[in-house]
């Protein structure tokens, strides 16, 4: 038994060095091998992890161009009559765009993903004869942008230019609005977006110029005899029906795109040289689309005389709320720019309507037109006429109504009186240039 044991374990008692050497394999070599195997495996996994980065973290410029080409082709097909430029658009004289906070920044086109890529890239050098656009009527001052008139490709355009002092959020809003407007697509009764400048400061949105400016200023000019003016300024009832049908068509188009305008009034309509009209004032619609500024839309004192009862009661805007405001717009047109509910204070308007009162019939308004106004301004949203129905009636009236009798208003324009009757309040600044 002793001999057998000594043959398998050759070390004598007390020989520590012999004992360590005998167990060297199992005590030292095997653990070291395990440690080496672990380290090798760990290093391999680490290398594999670092080398397999997502492919979208790097895109070769050539491939990136190829990837975006289908999108550009789609935009070219969908927006065949629209070019995306660089600049800002503003309505003439009245500045219908003053409610649209659109700032600018030093982003390049590749660093501004909010603005869709366009087949026509423009630079500020494309604009000639750039001059400041004087405002005819301004209720509140906006220090985030300036408006300029310019010529581009021999076409008069309006530049809405973000100021250098704009903050990052305002710059993002500027680019976001450009994207929103481009996504709406072309419509004959919406201003043409001609481009967005993003390649260098300042950022701009470029929109076609409509020579007769905003509708409210146009209506005010029609109150006087402008025989020296080359452009006609006379308003007839047939012209109201024709213009109204164009605005209703634009509203119907916006609603089909799941947008609520929320700012329908004469100040938000632009008038072309041929007296066609286009709906503007899309700032509130953009802010609602971005889930910002909803409460501000409701509380804006400049809009309350045009807002539907449910909006005055702090309820959410509906598409039928635009129809109420459209009825108020028709009232503005037939009165040549009078303020709605002139004898009612803004804070009393909701109670006034709750008692069943409505807009009074203007002296020079036909029964046909007044019936359309009343069909728009029904207390319950579901009782209001649809835009499709309104469009049919207005188009029919545009063909049959009187086009000879020019609408006249005996009262001359009084800006201070208008401000009070429109509910703007004495604390707001205004200026007539």
The distance from CA 326 to its chain's CA centroid, rounded to whole angstroms, is 19
Residue predicted with more confidence, 240 or 145: 240
Domain chopping of the chain, boundaries: 2-52, 81-208, 215-421
- Which pLDDT tens digit goes with each residue over 14-28? 666 566 566 665 666
Contacts of 6 (CB under 8 A, 6+ apart): none
Q: Which of 14-18, 139-143, 300-304, 374-378 has the highest mean pLDDT?
A: 374-378
Sign of the four-CA dihedral 139, 145, 146, 150: negative
270 pLDDT exceeds 90?
yes
Question: Is the Cβ–Cβ distance between 255 and 322 less than 8 Å?
Answer: yes
Model pLDDT, residue 115: 42
Model pLDDT, residue 62: 34
Residue predicted with more confidence, 430 or 130: 130
* Average pLDDT, integer, range 148-159: 86
* Average pLDDT, integer, range 173-195: 91
Model pLDDT, residue 247: 98
290 pLDDT exceeds 50?
yes
Model pLDDT, residue 348: 94
Residue predicted with more confidence, 262 or 152: 262
The whole-angstrom separation of Cα 401 and Cα 368 is 9
* Average pLDDT, integer, range 129-142: 58
Model pLDDT, residue 320: 97
At how many degrees (to 10) do helices 319-334 and 387-400 cross? 20
Query: Given this structure, which CATH class describes domain 215-421?
Result: mainly alpha
Model pLDDT, residue 426: 37
- Which pLDDT tens digit goes with each residue over 307-350? 999 999 999 999 999 999 999 999 999 999 999 999 999 999 99
Q: What residues are paired with 160 via a beta bridge?
A: 147, 205
Q: What share of the chain is helix, strand, coil (3-state, %, to 5)?
A: 45, 10, 45
CA-nearest of 276, 215, 219, 281 to 242 is 276
Band of residue 433 on the pLDDT scale cut at 50, 70, 90: very low
280 pLDDT exceeds 90?
yes
The whole-angstrom separation of Cα 148 and Cα 155 is 14
Q: Looking at domain 81-208, which of 3.30.200.20, 3.90.1640.30, 3.40.50.620, 1.20.1250.20 is its CATH number?
A: 3.30.200.20
- Write down the mean pLDDT value for the chain: 75
Peptide bond into 202 cis (omega under 30): yes
Band of residue 259 on the pLDDT scale cut at 50, 70, 90: very high
Pick the range with the lowest mean pLDDT from 82-91, 228-237, 378-387. 82-91
Model pLDDT, residue 350: 95
Band of residue 141 on the pLDDT scale cut at 50, 70, 90: low
Model pLDDT, residue 37: 83
């Amino acid at each position: 038994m002793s001999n057998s044991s000594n043959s398998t374990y050759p070390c004598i008692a007390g020989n520590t060095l012999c004992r360590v050497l005998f167990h060297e394999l199992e005590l030292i070599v095997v653990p070291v091998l395990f440690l080496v195997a672990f380290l090798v495996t760990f290093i391999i996994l680490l290398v594999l992890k670092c080398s397999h980065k997502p492919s979208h973290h790097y895109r070769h410029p050539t491939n990136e161009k190829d990837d975006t080409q289908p999108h550009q082709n789609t935009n070219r097909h969908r927006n065949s009559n629209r070019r995306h430029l660089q600049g800002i658009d503003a309505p003439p004289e009245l500045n219908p765009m003053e409610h649209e906070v659109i700032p600018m920044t030093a982003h390049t086109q590749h660093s501004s993903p909010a603005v869709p890529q366009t087949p026509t890239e423009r630079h500020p050098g494309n604009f000639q004869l750039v001059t400041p656009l004087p405002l005819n009527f301004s209720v509140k001052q906006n220090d985030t942008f300036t408006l300029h008139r310019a010529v581009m490709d021999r076409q008069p355009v309006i530049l809405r230019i973000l100021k250098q002092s704009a903050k990052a959020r305002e710059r993002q809003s500027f680019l976001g609005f450009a994207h929103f407007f481009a996504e709406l697509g072309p419509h004959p009764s919406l201003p043409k977006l001609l481009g967005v400048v993003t390649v260098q400061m300042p950022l701009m949105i470029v929109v076609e110029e409509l020579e007769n400016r905003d509708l409210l200023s146009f209506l005010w000019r029609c109150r006087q005899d402008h025989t020296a003016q080359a452009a006609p300024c006379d308003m007839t009832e047939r012209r109201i029906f024709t213009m109204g049908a164009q605005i209703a068509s634009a509203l119907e188009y916006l609603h089909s795109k799941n947008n609520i305008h929320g700012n329908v009034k004469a100040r938000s309509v632009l008038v072309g040289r041929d007296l066609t009209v286009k709906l503007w004032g899309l700032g509130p619609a953009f802010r609602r689309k971005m889930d910002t500024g909803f409460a501000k839309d409701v509380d804006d004192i400049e809009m309350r005389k045009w807002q539907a009862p449910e909006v005055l009661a702090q309820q959410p805007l509906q598409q039928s709320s635009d129809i109420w405001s459209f009825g108020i717009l028709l009232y503005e047109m037939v009165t040549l720019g009078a303020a709605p509910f002139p004898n009612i204070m803004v804070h009393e308007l909701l109670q006034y309507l709750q008692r069943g009162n409505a807009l009074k019939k203007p002296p020079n308004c036909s029964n046909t037109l007044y019936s359309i106004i009343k069909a728009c301004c029904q207390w319950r949203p579901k009782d209001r006429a649809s835009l499709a129905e309104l469009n049919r009636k207005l188009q029919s009236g545009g063909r049959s109504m009187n086009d000879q009798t020019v609408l006249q208003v005996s009262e001359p324009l009084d800006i201070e009186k208008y401000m009070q009757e429109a509910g703007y309040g004495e604390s707001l600044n205004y200026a007539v240039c």
